[in-house]
Structure 1
Amino acid sequence: MKTFPKNFLWGSATSAPQSEGHSLQNGKSETTWDYWFKTNPEKFHENQGPENTTNIYEMYKEDCKRMKEIGLNSFRTSISWARLLPDGRHVNQEAVAFYRDYFKHILEEGVQPIINLFHFDMPMWLMEKGGWETRESVDAFAFYAKTAFELFGDLIKNWTTFNEPIVHIECGYLNGAHYPAIHDFKKAIQVGYHTLMAHAYAVKAFREIMPNESIGIILNITPAYARSDQAADQSAKENADLLTMKSFLDPAVKGFIPDPLIQLIQAHDLTPETIGSDKEIIKENTVDFIGLNYYQPLRVQAPENPRFPAQDPEDLFAPYDWPEKRINPYRGWEIYPEAIYDVAMMMKNEYNNFPWYVSENGMGVAEEERFVNEEGMIQDDYRIDFMKEHLDYLYQGIQEGSNCFGYHTWTFIDCWSWLNGYRNRYGFYRLESDKDFTRSLKKSGLWYKEVAQNNGY
């Protein structure tokens, strides 16, 4: 029996735009996803847009009971900025009523909510002003965060500012997967910097309003592994870790942007516009915990013909195709559970054993209806095996002293996923249709319930 620490969080995660539905209803204003789907629906898998998703807006009471049914003791979701503050200034009272009742029902089922403020869903009114490219976004986000803390702080004790900030930077400004889908490395760095400052000012507001509670940030961790021990490959690994991991992890935990990262972006003429007081704001507003989402590693090598100054991250670190890799063919991601142990040791040895939890881990599979048994239940043993492999390595890291306090999967109920619609499924519950929103429990849900009840396996 592998028993995890007392009060370990066994839970799952989702987001407002991927689960709530009612995307342009009940007072909510347009986000970048609503706008992009309206203007370019052909980019979305089978024309599946953000309108309906999992319909938690109507079904949250039953879904909170489902959380308890599969043994969850914790659950992360997000608030929609565009729903709570449709114009950025005025509160939508219907949204307040919805979220308060939703959160109360989560709590009534004995589940600890962790509420996130931003999950890739930029309000379109702010995007029209430049979004994260403009300094105005920092103040706008701080006001939104303050409003949320004041409205829901009596119910919610554990908050996070952003989910995977690197993603909206890379996908929006480098690889075309999120709106505005442009390619501009310098703008990407500026967007990242404003996101970091928005995070820091949100933490500042939190300290003023809820000084005795906890706030963190959710980061996607793709640990870099170099092709070889040669100096050029090791330099590529360092560049990758600085840009994709330490750029947010170090300021959030240590209170400063690492000097090697500052030097790297200066060398390539990528330095963002800043304000003199920013350094102090970052220093004074570190977090209480970190959530780390882990799905896949990052294999890198030295670029063969890098441009200078760099026009793209691949001028600083190039992808390496590791011949021994094991791949999830549906998502195209490498399955490498060993990295979760490396992450655990990193948090112990490089970050003074800072408290952290696995805030997402999961396996997306297409056409899961192939695996339905005679009783109508999906036999997703592949998902159980995936989780168990990762938990084995997480357990090893905890046994060696890493201060990890929980494990959350992606996701609770199959949800809509950005440009991919419902192609790949991750949930403990199957969403049978995005038209009638029927849910059915998968085998993995029964397995997870047993793990949570036993605090191990």
Structure 2
Amino acid sequence: MRFPEGFLWGAATAAFQVEGATTADGRGRSIWDEFCEVPGAVVGGHTGEPAADHYRRFDEDVRLMADLGLQAYRFSVAWPRVRPDGGLVNKAGLDFYDRLVDRLLAAGIEPWPTLYHWDLPQPLEERGGWAARATPYRFADFAASTAEALGDRVRHWTTLNEPWCSAFLGYAAGVHAPGRRDPRAAVAAVHHLLLGHGLAAEVIRAASARAEVGITLNLYPVIPADPDDPADVDAARRVDGLQNRIFLEPLFHGRYPDDVVEDLAPYGFTAHVRDGDLDAVAAPLDRLGVNYYAEHHVSGRPGPAVAGSPWVGAEHVTFPGRGLPRTDMGWEVEPSGLTEVLLRVHRDYPPIPLYVTENGAAYRDAVAPDGAVRDPERLGYLESHLRAAHAAIEAGADLRGYFAWSLMDNFEWAEGYAKRFGIVHVDYATQVRTPKMSAMWYSQVAKDNALATVVAP
């Protein structure tokens, strides 16, 4: 099962999840540093220190990527390192990414930086965070300084990673930083994140004529539990509107969906949309990143109220399971959903190159006495989802690359260090890296540009 010529094979991480060094070289505090100190917010009371110590061990990690034959590395730039309080540039922090980019290019690995993977500087949150209209403009300042420093060598830029999580998990559910439970702030954050994307895209292109700019969305099929039940069908409409269409429609068509606007009217959503905003949001994209982990099967039948639900305007929606295998995160494994979301973008929106920018699974694995890490479940997950990605290509989707999540075990947000997504095992006590069986298999896939048929025991 071969992939198209030139298909890009990579792996992904995020700054707060792997870098550690949270006080090094002038780095300021982020909303995640603050959130980790809230009792009970993070499993085990863990923090982003030392994570995978990537800040100090990036040379070793780049050599590891090269040994695995990865062609691209998707990482994020920590805003608190570059502009610690949202104001002046911290050159020492920016220099880290300068060195990282140089090492990657020297190893033949294409750098794919993401400018925002959820680590807002805490001083900006104290001034309102993403619920405040000033924040998108401070994000554009951060984007400009980063692109000016790296744009001579970096071509592939991503503005935001999963703005749904930033807005709804951070400001409505309160289960991610900054831990707020304010539906009005959440819907304001949706628009301000998208505005920040548009403003950042403009300054990136101004800084580098060779820049290609994209955004990454976590897109999921949303399916009514009973397609003949009007309550389930309407629940699916509402959740699809909040998960997918509230981002896709303004990015590609310069408007928010009418039904979503109506659903969010009680929360003052449209008050945040000013003249010219949607023109900035809908500036042409060079590509779209798609993160996929599971389908959403939803029901509108009465169920217990969910305290701090992320589904603003759809708080009583329930998510019945279907008895499928689950990952260690409790997410059902449904590879066909990846085919569906890729084909949906291909079918419903203007032509655009697509990349799977995150896809992977957490499972419990450990280093065996012989030094190996055998993770057949993760390998099977990746293999089945690559088959699903290939099916989307065969059906016409312009899919040009795939990034496994994650390169290495890391700090998994509210789960702390309890969940392992990496294709490389990290011993957090010693920081020893051990490529897992899935990493060796994925390395062969990248080398062959085709699914490997032989797996080492």
TM range (shorter): over 0.9
Unaligned runs of 5+ in 1: none
What amino acid sits opposite 1:180 in the alignment? P
Q: 1:158 to 1:314 in 2, by over 3 A?
A: closer
Could you tell which deviates more after superposition, 332-341 or 90-99? 90-99
Q: Does the 8 A contact of 1:186 with 1:272 survive in 2? A: no
> Who is 2:400 aligned against?
405
Q: Identify the residue that residue 162 of structure 2 maps to in structure 1.
A: 164
Q: Is the contact made by 1:116 and 1:159 (CA closer than 8 Å) also made in structure 2?
A: yes
Q: How does 1:369-388 map to 2 (within 5 A)?
A: 369=366, 372-388=367-383
Contact 2:12 2:358 in 1 (8 A): yes
2: distance between equivalents of 1:5 and 1:429?
26
The secondary structure found in structure 2 opposite 1:321 is coil
Would you say the 8 A contact 2:220–2:341 is kept in 1?
no
- SS for the counterpart of 1:113 is strand
Q: Residue in 1 aligned with 2:409?
A: 414
Partner of 1:355: 353
SS in 2 for 1:325: coil
The one-letter amino acid paired with 1:399 is E
Q: CA 1:48–1:269 in structure 2 vs 1: closer, same or farther (change >3 Å)? A: closer
| 2:251 alignment partner AA | A
Q: CA deviation at 1:338?
A: 0.9
State the Cα distance separating 1:30 from its structure 2 match.
0.7
CA pair 19-323 structure 1, distance change in 2 beyond 3 A: closer
Counterparts of 1:137-156 in structure 2, within 5 Å, are 137-156=135-154
Output the CA distance in 2 between the equivalents of 1:127 and 1:314. 21
Q: Distance in 1 between matches of 2:253 and 2:112?
A: 22
Deviation at 1:78, TM superposition (A): 0.6
| Structure 2 residue matching 1:53: 3-state secondary structure | coil
Counterpart code for 1:421: G
Partner of residue 456, structure 1:
450
Q: Which amino acid counterpart does residue 444 of structure 1 have in structure 2?
A: S
Map 1:315-326; keep pairs closer than 5 Å. Answer: 315-316=313-314, 318-326=317-325
* 1:269 Cα deviation after fit: 5.2
CA distance in 2, matches of 1:89, 1:318: 41
Across the two proteins, how many residue pairs are aligned to each other?
Answer: 447
Q: 152-161 or 182-191: which moved more?
A: 182-191
Alignment of 1:241-260 (within 5 A): 241-260=240-259
- CA 60–269 in structure 1, closer or farther in 2 if over 3 Å, else same: closer
Give 3-state SS (helix, strand or coil) of 1:313's partner.
Answer: coil
| Correspondences of 1:414-453 after superposition (within 5 Å) | 414-433=409-428, 435-453=429-447
Q: 1:31: which partner in 2? A: 30
On the 8 A contact 1:24/1:51 being kept in 2, the answer is no
CA distance in 2, matches of 1:313, 1:85: 32
Counterpart of 2:12 in structure 1 is 13
Query: Does the 8 A contact of 1:161 with 1:216 survive in 2?
Result: yes
SS of structure 2 residue aligned to 1:52: coil
TM superposition shift of 1:425:
0.8
Task: Verify the 8 A CA contact 1:201 1:281 in the aligned structure 2.
Answer: yes
The verdict on how the C-alpha distance between 1:315 and 1:90 changes in structure 2, with shifts beyond 3 A counting, is: closer
Does structure 1 residue 127 correspond to structure 2 residue 129? no
Q: Does the 8 Å CA contact 1:340/1:394 hold for their aligned counterparts? A: yes
Deviates more, 1:40-49 or 1:120-129: 40-49
Structure 2 stretches lacking a partner, 5+ long = 452-457
2:44 aligned with 1:49: no
| Match in the other structure for 1:279 | 278
CA deviation digits over 1:404-424, x for unaligned, max 9?
011111111111122212111
1:253-268 alignment runs, 5 A limit: 253-266=252-265
Report the Cα offset of residue 306 of structure 1.
Answer: 11
Distance 1:158 1:141 in 2: 18
Q: Is the 8 A contact 1:235 1:302 kept in 2?
A: yes
Verify: 1:390 aligned to 2:388, yes or no: no
Distance 1:260-1:43 versus aligned 2 partners, 3 A rule? closer
1:345–1:397: 8 Å Cα contact kept in structure 2?
yes
Distance 1:82 1:268, change over 3 A: closer
In the TM superposition, structure 1's runs of 4+ consecutive aligned residues that sit over 6 Å from their partners are: none
**Compared CA separation, residues 210 and 5, structure 1 to 2 (3 A):** same
Percent of matched pairs sharing the same residue: 30
Match of 2:234 in 1: 235
Matched position secondary structure for 2:434: strand
Letter in 1 for 2:352: F
Q: 1:288 to 1:41 in 2, by over 3 A?
A: same
Report how far residue 303 of structure 1 moved.
4.5
